[in-house]
Structure 1
């Protein structure tokens, strides 16, 4: 039996590290991608029962994306975990151009290009799992200004991950390859701390629980998994409303726009 081979981005800490530990325990050989080589090597050394390759690159750069995309295309991956991320929580008017570009590149361009690179081989082999880590902020767009701190670009990247995964999952129907996205809420990692945000008083889910939810959701056939949402019908109602709005369109101008 061919060993499972999984590539995990953002593997040096938090959710990515938890994915690496869980998948190694399940017997997956790993390719660990991140910016901090010393952390990746320490993690690899702690996973002695599987083969682990460390790739220290920055997925905010074209060179970093191209390096990992080549691996995704060349190696017989059974699973790709797009987990790398940066926070940059701030209103768009306050978001420096360099940080906006970094956020879009890491959270949108990199997952797209890595997934694109991995797909042909997975389809040819007739098996593969494409998993992206997003977050419940993907569903927070309708929130009023009084309810949520503003982070338009960050929320947009997560919403992109949800819509892309749903659409890709449908595109791949019958191929043996599936696409999934996991949307946790606030998770107990250093993700917010690096931006100076103290969330120690906020109830937070563990990274290990996020991984459990993601892998279980895949087994349950969920395209979109929400680790902290007890009633999955809430998400199904969102999806039905999306499709109802999509199906309710017409080439005729809606009456509410005709008075102008």
Structure 2
């Protein structure tokens, strides 16, 4: 009699487009049961209909109510989640001086607070079970103060630092946490944010599926930070080690291009 294989469950935020959708496709192919989280109920339903086993959870993670709903799912002892992918994120296509406090707070609630809340919801049960994975989608822009006048790189710097810190805390329990830091990736992100990337060279673009596969490979190797593709590994090395004055000059000259690559 064949042994029964225990089903694994992954919860993915921002699941209907870009890197989130690529995680959905990759994890479905690996046999995961999926919990799909996004704001758009119609797109969630359409995506779930194409999958063998998927649950939909409409939620706006920039709101308290949205975070509460997803946190409740993550803490449900009857339906454990083995892998959490915090992918939902946003950028503002405007200078800090031209933005409002409400816009900046919405960005921080989604890019920072939601990541913290959902990670905190998932980790206690994972550590108690002795296994579990969390991938927090960050960005190469978080390695330097790129995009002058933008809060986005600062929010991603927090995600990377936070992920590294929690990874060190929980790895002794058999739980892995990793920051996935892609470069320019072909997704809907730029169009939705109103960001013009028409002048970005084609060689700088990454495929979302390739980003996800590289990230999952690094997660399973136990890496705390994953930077897919050699050119962005080189870029982040430069951002980490080059004199800050040089980084600032490059940032001004490119108008923060590397910071606008994300999911």
Same fold (TM over 0.5): yes
Residue equivalent to 1:113:
117
Which whole-Å deviations, capped at 9, do the CAs of 1:45-66 have from their partners, x for residues lacking one?
Answer: 1112xx2000111001000000
The reply on whether 1:101 has 2:105 as its aligned counterpart is yes
Residue equivalent to 1:229:
230
Q: Is the contact made by 2:36 and 2:56 (CA closer than 8 Å) also made in structure 1?
A: yes
Q: Is the contact made by 1:90 and 1:150 (CA closer than 8 Å) also made in structure 2?
A: no
Q: Is the contact made by 1:135 and 1:183 (CA closer than 8 Å) also made in structure 2?
A: yes
Give ranges in structure 2 of 5+ residues lacking alignment. Answer: 243-263
Q: Is the contact made by 1:10 and 1:16 (CA closer than 8 Å) also made in structure 2?
A: yes
Q: Shift in Å at residue 101 of structure 1?
A: 1.0
Partners of 1:190 and 1:132 lie apart in 2 by 19
Question: Runs of 4+ in structure 1 displaced over 3 angstroms?
Answer: 229-241
Q: Kindly report which structure 2 residues correspond to 1:38-117, keeping only aligned pairs within 5 A, or say none.
A: 38-48=42-52, 51-74=53-76, 75-117=79-121
Partners of 2:229 and 2:136 lie apart in 1 by 17
Residue equivalent to 1:29:
33
Q: Shift in Å at residue 231 of structure 1?
A: 8.3
CA RMSD of aligned residues (A): 2.1
Which structure has more RCO (C-alpha within 8 Å, separation ≥ 6)? 2
The alpha-carbon distance between structure 1 residues 167 and 240, as it changes in their structure 2 partners (threshold 3 A), is farther
The alpha-carbon distance between structure 1 residues 60 and 177, as it changes in their structure 2 partners (threshold 3 A), is same
The reply on whether 1:207 has 2:211 as its aligned counterpart is no
The alpha-carbon distance between structure 1 residues 6 and 91, as it changes in their structure 2 partners (threshold 3 A), is same
The alpha-carbon distance between structure 1 residues 153 and 232, as it changes in their structure 2 partners (threshold 3 A), is closer
Q: Is the contact made by 1:89 and 1:151 (CA closer than 8 Å) also made in structure 2?
A: no
The alpha-carbon distance between structure 1 residues 107 and 3, as it changes in their structure 2 partners (threshold 3 A), is same
Partners of 1:61 and 1:4 lie apart in 2 by 28
Residue equivalent to 1:7:
11
Q: Kindly report which structure 2 residues correspond to 1:82-231, keeping only aligned pairs within 5 A, or say none.
A: 82-141=86-145, 148-202=146-200, 203=202, 204-229=205-230
Q: Shift in Å at residue 90 of structure 1?
A: 2.9
Give the structure-2-normalised TM-score: 0.83
Partners of 2:170 and 2:66 lie apart in 1 by 27
The alpha-carbon distance between structure 1 residues 121 and 206, as it changes in their structure 2 partners (threshold 3 A), is same
Q: Is the contact made by 2:183 and 2:232 (CA closer than 8 Å) also made in structure 1?
A: no
Give the structure-1-normalised TM-score: 0.84
Instruction: State the number of aligned residues.
Output: 233
SS of residue in 2 equivalent to 1:174: helix
Tell which deviates more after alignment, 223-232 or 121-130. Answer: 223-232
Partners of 2:11 and 2:44 lie apart in 1 by 13
The alpha-carbon distance between structure 1 residues 240 and 194, as it changes in their structure 2 partners (threshold 3 A), is closer
Query: Which structure is higher in helix share?
Result: 2
